[in-house]
Structure 1
Amino acid sequence: MLGAAADPRTARRTASPLTWLVVALACAGQFLVVLDVSVVNVALPSMRTDLGLSAPGLQWVVNAYSIAFAGFMLLGGRAGDLYGRKRMFLVGLALFTFASLGGGLAQDDWQLLLARAAQGLGAAVLAPSTLTILTSAVPEGAARARAIATWSAVGAGGGAAGGLVGGVLTDGLSWRWVLLVNVPVGAVVLAGAARWLPESRAGAGRRLDLPGALLVTAGLATLAYGIVQTEEHGWAAAATLVPLLAGAVLVALFLAVEARTAAPLMPLKLLGLRSVASANAAMFLSGAAMFAMWYFMTLYAQNVLGYSPLGAGLALVPSSLAVVLGSKAAPRLMRVAGARAVAVAGSLLAAAGFAWQSTMSADGTYVTTIMLPGVLMMLGAGLAATPLASLATSGAAPEDAGVVSGLVNTSRTMGGSLGLSVLSTIAAARTGGSASGTALTEGYALAFRTGAAVLLGCAVLMLLWLPGARTREPARTRAEAEAQAKTQA
């Protein structure tokens, strides 16, 4: 018994119950963050009726969250490195929880929009810490791969569950509960995190790169604003082009500042790491297709097939389970075939699901036009997410773990925002303003065909650029070998 406990190899393959409690708390924080990206969608009509929101105001219920979330993510990640990952987890979760309470109790439209922006800010501080805490708590190897798989599954499941949770709460209670439900859950996670999460930080003595922080936050937020403007004004309008160009200039200035700063917010050497650069590029492209999948599937179920909000959420439950299954199966496959092969296979499987979904018809049946293609898409998404997250966080120094985690979330969020805007524009152009089921179906089908093409391109990028080494247990150090020899003796 003593020998087994002292064997370092066993310690690397397994994790203690306390470690998995840390993983569970980190995953709970990630679930709340991702859930709130989509949970409000089905509640928007009820919000409009109750608060008298205009059409642009309704759009900003979603956009206020996503812009703040995307804009402050890198800053949140670096703050965790410098000031403590646990501290930033608690700060972000507390802000997110209180903002949820304010949004649920809002009596005017401006109060709701302010609360949603504060939620996004809290999420941007919280999200990078969830992955950094997890990777700090679990040693590199099979155990970490399983932990990242759980994190990926919970994150993907949060996005998938948004429609179902929002439908249940809106139909059963009111729209306010899609926000208020975060309060008791957030309070429980906050108490558990304060009690059990270990503190970790890196870069002691370093100061926050304030010019870089201001530039990248303003740049990403401005880019996100320009992207969401395309939904209302199109891609050629000044209201879209000006913020997109301004955001690009700010990001370029940020990169120039980082190249000259002694202690940069995001060291540019990170982008020189093949694993970090390639995995984030793949996450961006994958997110561009995958995030839009839930949006168009929900619209197709409700606007064409006549499902209720709750019915549409229930219809996507098999897809939600598939993404969890894919994420949990990925670590085992990675040990056999390698991270790159699993990521490529997942992307190809998802592309096949998108191609199948693009054959939808206005009178389609549930099994062949929602369930089976949805399962295929999300099974592929789950298989690809875990190796990409694992590769994106590998190779970086401990003092950069937080900003790398922020970069992972930023890539996925910005990719999802851009993809949704582009695919929505493509679908609307094909529909031509018609509200008939046939016209809407043709627009949605074209969006899915475009998504399939994006995923095929993503698979090619992964095959050519991702590192090809298999995921193995790290080699034991000399001290570990000596310790084991003494134990056996």
Structure 2
Amino acid sequence: MCVGMFLVLLDVTVVNVALPSIASGLGADPAATQWIVDAYAVAIAGLLLAGGTVGDRIGHRRVVLTGLGVFGVASVACGLATGPGMLIAARAAQGAGAALLLPGSLAVITEAFPDRAARARALGIWAAVSSLALPAGPLLGGFLVSSGDWRLIFLVNVPVVLAALVAVPRLVPAGTARPERRGDAPGAVLAAVGLVAAVFTVIDAGEHGFRPLTVAGLAVALVCVAGFVARERHANAPMLPLDLLRLPAFVGPNLAAGAMNLVVNGLLFVTTLFLQGVQHRGPVAAGVALLPMFVPLAFLAPPAGRLVARFGPRPLLVGGALVAALGAAGYALLEPASGYLTLLPALVGLGVGAGLFTAPVVAAAMSAVPAERSGLASGINNTARQTGTALGVAVFGAVAGGTAVPGAFVHGVHVLAGLGAAVWIAVVPLVAWSVRRSSPTSTRSG
């Protein structure tokens, strides 16, 4: 299960340092380059809740095996892609496999370790391995691209997936199937199509302005949102129970989680383009340069969880948001020829802020609902974060544009510095209002 989760998170970040090589090799324009990242995030966000429901119905081991198979085949397709369209479609298929793996891996561990102490140890290992994927992605991607071909960043998944497919039936208990659990296929379709249409609208508007096709994408997105709300209001087994949206203590942290991923992953996307497209750094140098963002993000999460247990989530949420706002604002100092020391404080600020923010925002969302709905709450929180990633890459990529004119690109980065800082600052009153004061004993880490 750690292997599966590691691959899911690795493919969120490993592709970023390869984007210039991919764009050059396949002739991808800036919009297609954004979709190479976003197709993966959109598929995860749109199918994540459905993946958890399917696992409940037919058993999580079966779903994990299916997810591994889909992810592996899609990785081969990514590695063999002959054009941007084929790669984008394969990335979407990877995301579909990831949407089965992500909730399934956690559910399998929960079922396999009924003893609470053993489960806590197992989940701690799972979280630690997962967090290592974040700094490993840029490094591994940089080395693979520089040593051969960008296709290796996808093909390297294949032997790992094959080993996992052999190991899972031997090591993972079959688990319990609950065929009586109903899904919400219409809701899942409306959510996925609406998110795709929203991301398309943002990317297309940045590339072409508001042409008729862009307006049509916006209309589809709005219709799907309205249809999704209507469906969830009347569905017997809604994918997103609307009563949860009447709980500020649940809605606020999930909006904040989406905002976190929007800014962090949006700035990650443009930072990669800046390092390679503007400053012409190699893939390895770009991967190493990104480590100050990912190392704090990965290694601050465990101690932040312990601080949540002691002080409650609100102080860390406010402090993390303010630190991350300073980091985002630091991008306003960049110029095309800026030295790395100009970028470093911005990366560290984002990494430290997000590292302080991640554990408490999950804890706040989970503690807002009864324990029997914790699985659903976790799925919604993950969906909110993946939706933020998809929209962040779309919005930030559209504002920054391509790197062919470095001055124009950097001007866009300056605009994004203000936007990113403003989003983080807006998160402060949001969490201060919505996250209730929690005593150490009443706060659950989720």
TM bin, normalised by shorter chain, reads 0.7 to 0.9
2:268 pairs with 283, 286, 294, which one? 294
Q: Structure 2 counterpart of 1:392, which letter?
A: A
Which aligned pairs between 1:15-414 and structure 2 lie closer than 5 A? 25-26=1-2, 28-48=3-23, 50-51=25-26, 57-107=32-82, 111-133=86-108, 158-198=133-173, 205-234=180-209, 236-366=210-340, 368-394=341-367, 396=369, 400-414=373-387
The SS at the match of 2:180 is: coil
Residues in 2 aligned to 1:132 and 1:393: alpha-carbon distance in whole angstroms: 16
CA deviation after TM superposition for structure 1 residue 411, in Å: 0.9
Q: Residues 248-280 of structure 1: CA distance to partner in whole angstroms, max 9, x if unpaired?
A: 222222222222222223322333344432221
The gaps in structure 1 that reach 5 residues or longer are 1-24, 476-489
Pair 434,218 (structure 1): closer, same or farther in 2 beyond 3 Å = closer
Pair 434,312 (structure 1): closer, same or farther in 2 beyond 3 Å = closer
Deviates further, 40-49 or 324-333: 40-49
Pair 289,167 (structure 1): closer, same or farther in 2 beyond 3 Å = same
**Contact 2:50–2:183 under 8 Å retained in 1:** no
The gaps in structure 2 that reach 5 residues or longer are none
Deviates further, 323-332 or 100-109: 100-109
Pair 141,445 (structure 1): closer, same or farther in 2 beyond 3 Å = farther
**Contact 1:292–1:423 under 8 Å retained in 2:** yes
The SS at the match of 2:239 is: coil
CA deviation after TM superposition for structure 1 residue 289, in Å: 0.8
Using structure 2 for the length normalisation, give the TM-score: 0.86
- The answer to whether residue 387 in structure 2 is matched with residue 418 in structure 1 is no
Partner of 1:435 in structure 2? Answer: 405
Q: Structure 2 counterpart of 1:120, which letter?
A: G
Deviates further, 308-317 or 113-122: 113-122
Partner of 1:461 in structure 2? Answer: 430
**Contact 1:90–1:193 under 8 Å retained in 2:** yes
Partner of 1:482 in structure 2? Answer: none
Residues in 2 aligned to 1:217 and 1:474: alpha-carbon distance in whole angstroms: 33
The SS at the match of 2:229 is: helix
Q: Residues 337-371 of structure 1: CA distance to partner in whole angstroms, max 9, x if unpaired?
A: 112222222111111222233223444332x3233
Residues in 1 aligned to 2:23 and 2:330: alpha-carbon distance in whole angstroms: 35
CA deviation after TM superposition for structure 1 residue 439, in Å: 4.6
Q: Residues 55-104 of structure 1: CA distance to partner in whole angstroms, max 9, x if unpaired?
A: 65555433433332332222212222333233322211221012112322
Using structure 1 for the length normalisation, give the TM-score: 0.79
The SS at the match of 2:267 is: helix
The SS at the match of 2:300 is: helix
Q: Structure 2 counterpart of 1:226, which letter?
A: T
The SS at the match of 2:333 is: coil
Q: Residues 162-210 of structure 1: CA distance to partner in whole angstroms, max 9, x if unpaired?
A: 3332221111021110100111222334444434445556865132233
Pair 61,435 (structure 1): closer, same or farther in 2 beyond 3 Å = same
**Contact 1:346–1:381 under 8 Å retained in 2:** yes
**Contact 2:320–2:355 under 8 Å retained in 1:** yes
Partner of 1:13 in structure 2? Answer: none
Q: Residues 273-308 of structure 1: CA distance to partner in whole angstroms, max 9, x if unpaired?
A: 444322211111111111112122223323444422
Q: Structure 2 counterpart of 1:301, which letter?
A: L
Pair 165,174 (structure 1): closer, same or farther in 2 beyond 3 Å = same
Pair 140,396 (structure 1): closer, same or farther in 2 beyond 3 Å = farther
Deviates further, 174-183 or 124-133: 124-133
How much identity, in percent, do the aligned residues show? 37
Q: Structure 2 counterpart of 1:452, which letter?
A: A
**Contact 1:72–1:217 under 8 Å retained in 2:** yes
Residues in 2 aligned to 1:214 and 1:66: alpha-carbon distance in whole angstroms: 16
Deviates further, 381-390 or 203-212: 203-212
Residues in 2 aligned to 1:128 and 1:60: alpha-carbon distance in whole angstroms: 24
Residues in 2 aligned to 1:203 and 1:242: alpha-carbon distance in whole angstroms: 40
Query: What RMSD over aligned residues (CA atoms) do the two structures have, in Å?
Result: 3.3
Pair 362,399 (structure 1): closer, same or farther in 2 beyond 3 Å = same
- Which structure has the bigger radius of gyration? 1
Q: Structure 1 counterpart of 2:405, which letter?
A: A
**Contact 1:82–1:202 under 8 Å retained in 2:** yes
Q: Residues 126-177 of structure 1: CA distance to partner in whole angstroms, max 9, x if unpaired?
A: 2233444456667899998887777666656535543332221111021110
**Contact 2:200–2:217 under 8 Å retained in 1:** yes
For these two proteins, the number of residue pairs brought into alignment is 444
Residues in 1 aligned to 2:331 and 2:160: alpha-carbon distance in whole angstroms: 35
CA deviation after TM superposition for structure 1 residue 34, in Å: 2.7
Residues in 2 aligned to 1:47 and 1:205: alpha-carbon distance in whole angstroms: 45
Deviates further, 237-246 or 449-458: 237-246
Residues in 2 aligned to 1:174 and 1:119: alpha-carbon distance in whole angstroms: 19
Pair 362,145 (structure 1): closer, same or farther in 2 beyond 3 Å = farther
Partner of 2:416 in structure 1? Answer: 447
Pair 49,112 (structure 1): closer, same or farther in 2 beyond 3 Å = same
